[in-house]
Amino acid sequence: MARTIAGTLVDPEGTGLDSVNIKFQSIRNNLSGVPIGSIEQFDTDADGNYSQSIEEGIYNVSIVNGTVTTNLGKVTVVDGDAIDLMELLNTNYIVDPNIIVDGGTF
């Protein structure tokens, strides 16, 4: 089973961030058979929007904006309704003051 990860990445002024790469690297996956180490990655569109179906499992999540990579931490993806990165990470800590995910600053 899979879950859709969807939302918007914006800068502090509210402008969507184009072509930011979001990576989910599998670190443990006895739920859906996704091989450990495999990577699901997708980019934001011109307005900063993203949407991708991710198989169940445990992943390290990072975002790459230009030459800057920010590790967001470990997440567990389980079957369910669509969810954004903020909800998935379940945190409000700051990792990059120039990127805001779905209205909340990491």
Mean per-residue pLDDT, 10-20: 87
- Is residue 71 scored above 80 in pLDDT? yes
- Is residue 38 scored above 80 in pLDDT? yes
Mean per-residue pLDDT, 19-35: 81
Return the number of other C-beta atoms located less than 10 Å from residue 37's C-beta: 9
As a whole-number percent, the residues of the chain with pLDDT over 90 amount to 23
- Residue 50, judged by CB atoms within 10 A of its CB (0-12, 13-18, 19+), counts as buried
- Is residue 9 scored above 50 in pLDDT? yes
Q: Where would I find the beta strands (DSSP E) of 38-82? A: 39-43, 49-55, 57-65, 68-77
Highest mean pLDDT among 5-9, 72-76, 93-97, 102-106: 5-9
